[in-house]
Amino acid sequence: MRKLLVYLRPYRHWALLAPLLMLVETATDLLQPRMIQRIVDVGIAQRDMDVVLQTGIWMVGLSIAGALGGIGCSAMSVLAAQGFGADLRDGLFTKVQSLSFGNIDRFETGQLITRLTNDVTQVEELVGLMLRLMLRAPLLVVGSFVMAMLSSPQLAPLFAVLVSLIVVVLSWVINKAYPLYGDVQELLDDLNTVMQENLAGVRVVKAFVRGDHEIARFRRVNRALMAITVRVARTVAAAGPLMTMTLYAGVVAGFWLGGARVLEGRMQVGQVIAFTSYLTRTLWSLSFVSTLSTRVARAQASAERIAEVLDSVPEVQEASGARSLAAPAGRVAFEDVSFRYGEGSDPVLCDVSFVAEPGQTVAVLGATGAGKSTLVHLIGRFYDVASGAVTLDGVDVRALDEASLRRAVSIALQESVLFSGTIRDNIRYGRPDATDAEVEAAARAAQAHDFITAFADGYDTVVGQRGVNLSGGQKQRIAIARALLVRPAVLILDDSTSSVDVETEAEIQAALDVLMGDGEGEPGEPALPWSEGLRLLRRPASDGETGGSMTAFVIAQRISTVLNADKILVLDGGRVAAEGTHAALLASSPIYREIFDSQLGDGRLSRGGD
Amino acid sequence: MAATRSTPRRAPGGAGGFGAHWRQSKERPRDLRGTLARLWGYLAAQRGALAVAVILVVATSVLGTLGPYLMGQAIDAVMVDRDLRLLAREALLMLAVYVAEAGVAWLEAYVMSGASQRAIMALRDDLFAKLQTLSLRFFDERPHGELMSRLANDVENVSNVLQSGVTGLISSVLSLVGIAVTMLLLNARLAAVTLVTAPLMVVLSRWIAKRTRAGFRQQQVFLGELNGIIEETIAGQRVVKAYGREQAAVATFRATNRQLRRAATRAQIFSGTLPPLTNLVNNTGLTIVALAGGWMAVRGVATVGDIASFVQYARRFGWPLNSIASLYNSIQSAIAGAERVFQILDEVPELADTSASQSLEAVEGDVVFDDVCFEYTPGVPVLKHVSFHAQPGQTIALVGPTGAGKTTMVNLLARFYDICGGRVLIDRVDIRDLKLDDVRRRLGIVLQDTYLFADTVMENIRYGRLGASDEDVVRAAHVANADAFIRHLPHGYATLLSERGSNLSQGQRQLLAIARAVLADPAILVLDEATSSIDTRTERTIQEAMLRLMEGRTSFVIAHRLSTIREADQILVINDGEIVERGPHAALLAQRGFYHKLYVAQFKGQEVPEGVA
């Protein structure tokens, strides 16, 4: 918690003023019983109306001053707390933006979101509360003691005894309740998990008719939560009455002792009344402390979670003195690359080596879990290799600055994520300053233009949260358009055509061929109707002329995709099992043949090959 | 991708909305009385405990009212009667009353916490159960973050208020009444003076509360916006990184963060003036009492004890007024929260069983679509005049371009949505006349987006048939060819899957989903593009297993891979919501129509099977 207080520093002036103004309010509060004492002991006793009036005016004046102090204190603490909260949120969000894929994998989306929302709010509210009230209780206790000493010195020791007793009781209660708070939080989390899973997996729950099962599961957790919440509430509730009884016992004792002395003429009634007032004031503020303990416990837990994110180190960081890559040609090389996702887990890639020349299409094939996705993620340096090196145009990607790497390598991920906004904005995401013509060209290449223009608002159609009102295939095509618009030197399609039908995929492939500078279409084939527009998407070559090439990595599931690839990489268990063109592999690689056969179902066609 | 956490944490709060930029729709009409009544209904269900609590609260208030009176008597015993023995008696009485008050207060809190938490528990149960009855469209139309917010935050809001707010309110009101009455009984004139400030307090707090309500609403709007931005950005964090748009994301965040800060600061500063101001009014009242009392005492019209009592009462009067004022605010927000919760409870499920719904016993698997039309959004037809007949045990392949309507047909068969025209029949009975659960139980569906729970592999598969034994699960996994890779996982079948199963590859998730469906042993099988994310090798073996499984069952296979459907009894070629061609594979090829085009495209004119030029 202390670590986070750093964010309070810019607002320390307000943070200091708040308790000071509280001082004013408390002081005026403390003086009030004394004023009443004066009225009773001086005014009434001596039948002096002037004293009564004068004191009355003083009381009003003090009240106003106190109110001003209170308002000021509250305002200062709000300013400080809100500033703190806003900065903390900002810092946390910025930190998350700097994290790498590896960090994000470990934290999980839901958690990060909670930490940015609920946890920050908890801490912020506590800071505000503390600034406003943190001094009040101790000030009142100390102040009351001082005033009690001044007003009725003979009863002061009684005061001290009582207050210490109360503090003991309070700490005992808080100690008992504290560990229970952790349990409450955990159960709340469990409850939320059940709810979240039912929301996200509603189709499955309904398809398997598991509604009753889920309800039973929910009820179990709900009951446990209730039981422990009640326990906590009852424990904390015990504090109040215990303290109250102690204090009231003190009041009565005060009356008894004080009253006796008054009869003996050693004290005045006003003093006894004042004593009682100070005592009850103290009770009020101390009992409030016990209710604060809940907030403190929860805020503490939140603070820890926030600190965990703030302390995490991004796995992939730009090296100091990183170079930029002005006009990348697109030559990708893997040199003995090995990779694993975490310490001690199995290696996902082992000694992978290959070279992809600029403009080549490389198809990556392999069984589930063979490492295809991982391999292409290393190209863009989304993860760092464990050993070996990935180079772009001969330069290790670790030596390149992030900006040029992102410009050079563009990836359409496995799960197409769109953001809220127009379709146009989504396609432009990688390069916001692209022209409308370029956007359209990219959409055409990705075979998305037709369905986009079928919408009433066309490119200005607004996409719902995470692109909900589009089908899977439509989302994927927009994601591909997005990747194309960046005009990268290296394009990666990570199984991003799984929801697209075969015919459409073929057309996308044709467009990519043109983009990759694979000649102006194949001999005898008519030029694509929109190949003119495609020119907008081609990068200027390193020598300044148009026609720069694009290296493409395609993670393929369908054999049709790989048939025309310049190079096919077959991965098996994290190693390159075979490498070559279709024809070559058909002849030389049993694994490749097996895959090829399974795609076509009956092996007839292997006879038709070479 | 490996993710190591196994217990997903608390869900995101706040809402994100559809539409251009996160605006939540606000300005809902408030049915204060209605919501209060319903909320009260939950509490009132704990009749016994509530009655006890109310009695205890009354007792606390009564005792609390006695205290200052007794103190006044004690003072007079000293000042007026000068009687030590009388003082002793009054002192003891005071002690007894105070102790009783404290004890009763604790008892009341004890009872109330149980009652209120039980009420909240019931509310949560109802909410969850309600969600289970609602149709898919409800969930499609609402961002999950918003629903979670209602379930988590709003309910908690209500919980806090029910726990202490209700009794606080009762005791405050009772105290006020009790104090007023006692004061009037003691000394009417002094009482009048004391009570003068009360209406002023009420007016003041209501005025401030009204101004702050608008401010808080504004704060909530920005909070919702910000939460929406956070949720979307972080959920799509990989894309943000992949395109190097971190700076832009931060800029968007900052803009709304700044707005939130401004709105929140304004609202809270304003509302923060209430306690000091009420204090001021209270103190002024106190001063007036002291002055008036002093004047009366000087005249000998009142005793010092009376004044002391009244000063105490005047102080005590302020507490309940203060707490009512702050309770008013929290009750407002709790009611707003309760409203949101009740909104869900009041939803009418789009699809529900009626009393006429029949159960479905043994199913042969005869499926008929008779001139079916469907529109997801009114005015935009997705399926038009679709008719076909699947005999029991047949394999029907559905092919066609994306968005043609294939997935929709599955959704309609499972009655996730209702059709607009025509009929869907299972075993010659319209599915609208059948119980929803029965229809779905007989259907085995492997969906496009496989959803797995954060549980072990064994339990995830067992979800298909809850009573299945471990051996049954393993057997199902064998059939789906999942057993091999499961045994390679760190803990085999006991491996804990992370949230949404993200520690498995997509292909592996599909295999688990298939195993789950295998275990369910349905009469009608539907595979919705299930095999398109799996590598061709694995797909082949699954295909074999599927063929085995499909034997004797009516199966609908939605596939993009023509090679998987060559064995189908019937192929339905769907384009633009209509069946354009149908028949077995060879016949369709010979037609040289749409199907032929699709088939040829897959092989790019290279490998074309013998027999077709």
What string of DSSP letters covers B290-307? Answer: HHHHHHHHHHTSS-HHHH
List alpha helices for B142-236, DSSP H.
144-149, 155-160, 166-186, 188-195, 197-235
* CB contacts, 8 Å: A442 with chain B: none
Are the beta carbons of B563 and A263 separated by less than 8 Å?
Answer: no
Alpha-carbon distance of B45 to B118, in angstroms, equals 9
Give yes or no for residue B350 having a pLDDT over 70. Answer: yes
Backbone angles phi, psi at A354, to 5 degrees: -170, 170
pLDDT digits (tens, 9 = 90+) for A261-280: 887 888 887 888 888 888 87
Q: Largest Cα–Cα distance of chain A, in whole Å?
A: 125
Give the Å distances, CA to CA, from A1 to A14, A126, A132: 20, 11, 18
When CB atoms are compared, the residue of A108, A215, A432 closest to B8 is A108
Give the residue with greater pLDDT, B533 vs A186.
Answer: A186
pLDDT digits (tens, 9 = 90+) for B89-125: 888 888 888 888 888 888 888 888 888 888 889 989 9
Q: Three-state SS for A327?
A: coil
Q: What is the pTM of this model?
A: 0.74
Alpha-carbon distance of B260 to B258, in angstroms, equals 5
| DSSP letter for each residue of A118-137 | IIHHHHHHHHHHHHHHTTHH
Q: What is the 3-state secondary structure (H, E, C) of B99-117?
A: HHHHHHHHHHHHHHHHHHH
Looking at residue B222, what is its pLDDT? 85
Alpha-carbon distance of B178 to A117, in angstroms, equals 44
Are the beta carbons of B5 and A420 separated by less than 8 Å?
Answer: no
Tokens of B571: 């192929």
User: Cβ of A471 under 8 Å from any chain B Cβ?
Assistant: yes
* CB contacts, 8 Å: B131 with chain A: 198-199
Alpha-carbon distance of B80 to A556, in angstroms, equals 102
Query: Which A residues, 493 through 552, put their C-beta within 8 Å of a C-beta on chain B?
Result: 495, 498-504, 506
Q: Which residues of A555-585 are buried (b: 16+ CB within 10 A; e: fewer)?
A: bbbbbbbbbbbbbbbbbeebbbbbbbebeeb
Looking at residue B208, what is its pLDDT? 81
Looking at residue A221, what is its pLDDT? 92
Alpha-carbon distance of B121 to B192, in angstroms, equals 46
Give the Å distances, CA to CA, from A235 to A227, A286, B366: 12, 16, 63
- Give the amino acid at B490: P
The alpha carbon of B489 is separated from its chain's Cα centroid by a whole number of angstroms, namely 34
Give the number of residues written for chain B.
613
* CB contacts, 8 Å: B126 with chain A: none
When pLDDT is averaged across residues B551-577 and rounded to a whole number, the result is 76
Give yes or no for residue B13 having a pLDDT over 50. Answer: no
Looking at residue A145, what is its pLDDT? 81
Nearest CA in chain A to B256: A86
For residue A275, give every residue at least 6 positions away whose Cβ sits within 8 Å of its Cβ, in sequence order, or none. A148, A151, A152, A155, A159, A254, A258
Tokens of B91: 């002192």
- Torsion, CA A121, CA A126, CA A127, CA A128, rounded to 10: 90
Are the beta carbons of B286 and A32 separated by less than 8 Å?
Answer: yes
pLDDT digits (tens, 9 = 90+) for A558-578: 666 677 788 888 888 788 888
Residue B421 backbone zone (phi > 0: left; psi -120 to 50: alpha; other: beta) = beta
Give the residue with greater pLDDT, B157 vs B497.
Answer: B497
| ipTM surpasses cut 0.90 | no
Give the number of residues written for chain A.
610
Q: Three-state SS for B525?
A: strand
When pLDDT is averaged across residues B286-295 and rounded to a whole number, the result is 82
pLDDT digits (tens, 9 = 90+) for B62-96: 887 887 788 778 777 777 777 778 888 888 888 88
> What H or E segment, with its residue span, contains residue B15?
none
Looking at residue A525, what is its pLDDT? 46
Give yes or no for residue B203 having a pLDDT over 60. Answer: yes
Residue with tokens 């912020």: A124
**What stretches of A439-496 adopt beta strand conformation (E)?**
462-463, 490-493
When pLDDT is averaged across residues A145-165 and rounded to a whole number, the result is 81
Most confident range (mean pLDDT) of A81-90, A152-161, A498-507, B268-277 is A81-90
Q: Which residues pair with A361 in a beta bridge?
A: A552
Confidence of residue A424 (pLDDT cuts 50, 70, 90): very high
Give yes or no for residue B51 having a pLDDT over 80. Answer: yes
Find the helix packing angle between A120-133 and A12-38, rounded to 10°: 40
When pLDDT is averaged across residues A364-385 and rounded to a whole number, the result is 83
> What H or E segment, with its residue span, contains residue B570?
strand B570-575
List alpha helices for A99-108, DSSP H.
101-107
Looking at residue B24, what is its pLDDT? 33
Looking at residue B439, what is its pLDDT? 81
Q: Three-state SS for A609?
A: coil
Q: Closest by alpha carbon to A269, among A453, A496, A99, A41?
A: A41
Other beta carbons within 10 Å of A376: 24
Are the beta carbons of A198 and B114 separated by less than 8 Å?
Answer: no
Looking at residue B539, what is its pLDDT? 63
When pLDDT is averaged across residues B331-342 and rounded to a whole number, the result is 76
When pLDDT is averaged across residues B244-252 and rounded to a whole number, the result is 90
CA angle A403, A409, A413 (to 5 degrees): 115
Are the beta carbons of A502 and B562 separated by less than 8 Å?
Answer: yes
Alpha-carbon distance of A177 to A145, in angstroms, equals 29
Looking at residue A80, what is its pLDDT? 94
pLDDT digits (tens, 9 = 90+) for B380-411: 777 888 899 998 888 888 877 665 677 787 78
Half-sphere exposure of A52 (CA within 13 A, CB side): 20
Alpha-carbon distance of B398 to B572, in angstroms, equals 5
Give yes or no for residue B425 having a pLDDT over 60. Answer: yes
When pLDDT is averaged across residues B456-472 and rounded to a whole number, the result is 87
Nearest-CA distance from B283 to chain A in Å? Answer: 6
Would you give the DSSP letter of residue A430?
Answer: G
Give yes or no for residue A219 having a pLDDT over 90. Answer: yes
Other beta carbons within 10 Å of B503: 23
**CB-neighbour burial class of residue A554 (10 A; exposed 0-12, middle 13-18, buried 19+):** buried
CB A70 within 8 A of CB A62: no
Looking at residue B499, what is its pLDDT? 61
Confidence of residue A213 (pLDDT cuts 50, 70, 90): confident
Tokens of A11: 């607002």
The alpha carbon of A606 is separated from its chain's Cα centroid by a whole number of angstroms, namely 52
Residue with tokens 């326990």: A231
Would you give the DSSP letter of residue B534?
Answer: S
pLDDT, chain A, mean: 81
User: Cβ of A104 under 8 Å from any chain B Cβ?
Assistant: yes
Alpha-carbon distance of B607 to A373, in angstroms, equals 29
Give the Å distances, CA to CA, from A189 to A429, B117, B152: 35, 17, 10
* CB contacts, 8 Å: A89 with chain B: 226, 257
CB B190 within 8 A of CB B289: yes
Tokens of A281: 């004031």
List alpha helices for A5-48, DSSP H.
12-38
CA angle B341, B347, B353 (to 5 degrees): 135
pLDDT digits (tens, 9 = 90+) for A9-53: 899 899 888 988 988 988 888 888 888 888 878 877 777 788 888
Q: Which of A263-277, A542-556, A577-591, B167-181 has the lowest mean pLDDT?
A: A542-556
CB B413 within 8 A of CB B424: yes
Looking at residue A497, what is its pLDDT? 67
The pairing of beta strand B570-575 with beta strand B578-583 = antiparallel
- Give the amino acid at A280: T
Looking at residue B21, what is its pLDDT? 26
Q: Which residues of A202-215 are buried (b: 16+ CB within 10 A; e: fewer)?
A: bbbbbbbbbbeebb
Nearest-CA distance from A533 to chain B in Å? Answer: 23
CB B17 within 8 A of CB B25: yes
* CB contacts, 8 Å: A571 with chain B: none
Backbone angles phi, psi at A552, to 5 degrees: -125, 135
Nearest CA in chain B to A422: B20
Give the residue with greater pLDDT, A564 vs B271.
Answer: B271
